[in-house]
Chain A
């Protein structure tokens, strides 16, 4: 379970408040959309969960552990509970699909046997096992995002954080990717997705947390991407 308790984040360099007094809970296995206009504070929430940045005030709990108080050396182990997917895929261009996924497992010290077993498994989960030997540049945008998804899932994360995962994809491919997300969620992984994709949010009918100017303005189960939100 993720819990934000009166969290405020003020960036020292910019001086502006990215998030103010935000409190909410996300239960294990939930699928949550973070919506809001650009700069509203969606990415700040994901960064706070990963401890890529820390709060100015308040606390963030992950399964009862206060993430804000974690010593720096514990952060890598916190992140191993999560998988991350970005809008720009962030794949390693000089490595094959297989090697990109293998890399994620190497990083956390998985054995060769585990890697040999898990990589084909996770590639087939995203429907890409037949392209294991290809390089990212040989793949379409949708396929590259699937590789990124496979990489994020390789280490069996409890939480999958996605920042605009369909931003660079056409509507049809975006929906295919969302099907994979839904399948992953059905298997029990919590999904937190920051997005601008109105169509997707409206179709999926999941919980929607809306942020405006650093304030949590709506938290609605089965919600929609409201017209009022400016893209």
Chain B
């Protein structure tokens, strides 16, 4: 398409947006609302992913060794653990370290409760194990339990399972919501453009008689949809950006450190691209759908 024709189509599209002022604003508002909900779910998905990763990192296995095991054997067990499949990192906690931790951290202020334990340490040596893939925790634990002199292996598989299933459910739910919103928004914008097309039926008719190509007729309407979709995306982005910024600020004030939410500048480009792509797509597809039946003269 020649530049002059494109300029003409674009100026026609702009005129259409202003001619149908109220309807354009209504569509823009609805698309912005759809995109805001979409953005909320996208942010939720990204954060659930990030939290899952954080939980995965925090999720360690604790392997306890029988109390009467020799130091030599404990070292050997450490080597055997390292050789076990899916093991990423192994750290030894001697019974002395454990006791020290108990005195200094767990019973701080009540140290007297642990008096005399130095002579008769009730704790056992243990290994803290970090896994490569937490979804294979069960199999790894079974292998570790088979090592001789291992008293027990403690893991947080239940917590991991809950986190994984929540994350999976959130992702699936988000996809369904996104598809529904996409369809709703396309229907809305196609109705707006249909109204414009209907109002300009006479003009389209004349254009056809004069010898306008279908593309020449269609482009201004598709651009109109694009403009509304794009502006809706910009509005939605501003709302979501501000909302998420406020949320992060509020959470930062709570001194909540169990897990971190994804930073605003890490997520903003993703949301901006998502909105512009979805907004424009909604506009263009919606207009194209409503144009089809009006091009036969």
When distances are taken between beta carbons in the complex, the residues of chain A under 8 Å from B245 are none
User: Does A117 touch B at the CB level, under 8 Å?
Assistant: no
Given that A90-B202, A92-B203 are known contacts, is A155 also in contact with B210, CB under 8 Å in the complex?
yes
Give the contacting residue for A76; candidates B5, B206, B213; CB below 8 A: B213
Total A residues in contact with B, Cβ cutoff 8 Å: 22
Secondary structure type dominating chain A contacts: helix
Question: What sequence of 0s and 1s flags, for each residue 212-256 of chain B, a beta carbon within 8 Å of any chain A beta carbon?
Answer: 111010000000000000000000000000000000000000000
CB distance from B198 to the nearest CB of A (A): 15
Report the number of A-B residue pairs with Cβ-Cβ less than 8 Å: 47
A110: nearest residue on chain B (CB-CB)?
B4
A107 touches B203 (CB 8 A): no
Contact residues in B for A111 (Cβ distance below 8 Å)? 4
Rounded to whole Å, the gap between the CB of B207 and the closest CB of chain A is 5
Q: Are B210 and A108 in contact (CB under 8 A)?
A: yes
Complex CA gap A55/B212 in Å reads 22
Interface residues of A in 62-112 (CB under 8 A from B): 73, 76-80, 82, 84, 90, 92, 103-104, 106-109, 111-112
- The verdict on A193 contacting chain B, using a C-beta distance below 8 Å, is no
Complex interface: chain B residues within 8 A of A103 (CB): 206, 210
| Contact of A50 with B by CB under 8 A | yes
The answer to whether A227 has its CB under 8 Å from any CB of chain B is: no
Cross-chain contact B5 with A109 (CB below 8 angstroms): yes
Would you call A107 and B297 a contact (CB within 8 A)? no
Q: How far is the CA of A90 from the CA of B207 in the complex (A)?
A: 11
A12 contacts chain B at the CB level, 8 A cutoff: no
From A84, A92, A108, give the contact of B212 (CB < 8 A). A108
Q: Which residues of A contact B208 (CB under 8 A)?
A: 76, 79
A76 in contact with B297 (CB, 8 Å): no
Which A residues are within 8 Å of any B CB, using their own CB?
Answer: 50, 52, 73, 76-80, 82, 84, 90, 92, 103-104, 106-109, 111-112, 151, 155
Residues of B within 8 A of A (CB): 2, 4-5, 8, 202-203, 205-214, 216, 297
Query: Beyond A79-B210, A107-B216, A109-B216: 6 further Cβ-contacts under 8 Å?
Result: A90-B206, A92-B202, A103-B206, A106-B8, A109-B2, A109-B5
